[in-house]
């Protein structure tokens, strides 16, 4: 029997704010109980999609320096 869980969140900033990654990270904290093996965030800045994923919990994978490199106004995150 499959016992895997996951959580997915999407963000779209209407004001074209470049900090969708920070908003996604906060939302993923609320969903962390849904999946604790890996996480990822992908951001679109109007021209390209950038992102990061890795094994581990949100607090272990995403830190301020990494989030500041993911600039864009919309994105999706998963745990």
Task: Report, as residue numbers or ranges, the catalytic residues.
Answer: 6
Please classify residue 63 by burial: count the beta carbons closer than 10 Å to its beta carbon, then call 0-12 exposed, 13-18 middle and 19+ buried: exposed
């Amino acid at each position: 029997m499959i016992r895997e869980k996951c959580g997915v969140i999407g963000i779209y900033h209407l004001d074209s704010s470049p900090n969708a990654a920070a908003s996604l990270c906060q939302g993923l904290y609320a969903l962390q109980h849904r999946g604790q093996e890996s996480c990822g965030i992908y951001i679109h800045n109007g021209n390209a999609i950038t992102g990061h994923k890795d094994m581990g919990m949100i607090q272990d994978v995403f830190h301020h320096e990494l989030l500041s490199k993911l600039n864009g106004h919309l994105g999706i995150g998963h745990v």
